[in-house]
Amino acid sequence: LKPFWPKPSWLRPVSSAGAPSEERRRRFQEAMGDVTDCCVLVCGGGNAAQVVTGLLATRYKTIAVSFFADEAAKWEQALGRDSMELTVEGAAVSKIVSKPAKITNDPSVAKEADVIILAVPSFAHGEYFEKF
């Protein structure tokens, strides 16, 4: 089967050492550009929320909010002043380093968001809707 979309010209196989070539890495960075003015609010504090927050924080102002117990405080304390580091095997960029703008349990941050992502189980959606 052939894909029906054309592959971007900068998408080439990785070097023989298994790491993306410098040219591929440069082109990827150019395609990504700078962080935009868009603000994304990621709801939740579990694995999915942390991964999505780490990925989105590379490009957007990203705020994480969790209402579960003291999850936001624990996440913020664990991160401290450090950035998050995601390892993505087989991707053009195998190590992604980013930091969310804020990690909180304050529902008022929803007013800052242009986009809200619910990265929580469906039974928890109602709590977020009520608090926002």
* Bridge partners of residue 43, in order along the sequence: 65, 118
Q: Which tokens go with 125?
A: 């959606």
Evaluate the CA torsion angle 52, 54, 56, 57 in order and state its sign.
Answer: positive
Q: Which tokens go with 71?
A: 């999850």
Contact 127, 67 (CB under 8 A): yes
Measuring CA to CA, which residue among 101, 124, 130 is closest to residue 43?
124
Average pLDDT, rounded, for the chain: 83
Q: What φ, ψ does residue 100 adopt, rounded to 5°? A: -65, 150
pTM across the whole model: 0.73
Strand duo 102-104 + 61-65: pairing: parallel
Q: Which residue in this structure is represented by tokens 């927050």? A: 53
pLDDT of residue 12: 45
Q: Encode pLDDT of 23-53 as tens digits.
A: 766 766 665 556 678 999 999 999 999 999 9
- Specify the DSSP class assigned to residue 120: S
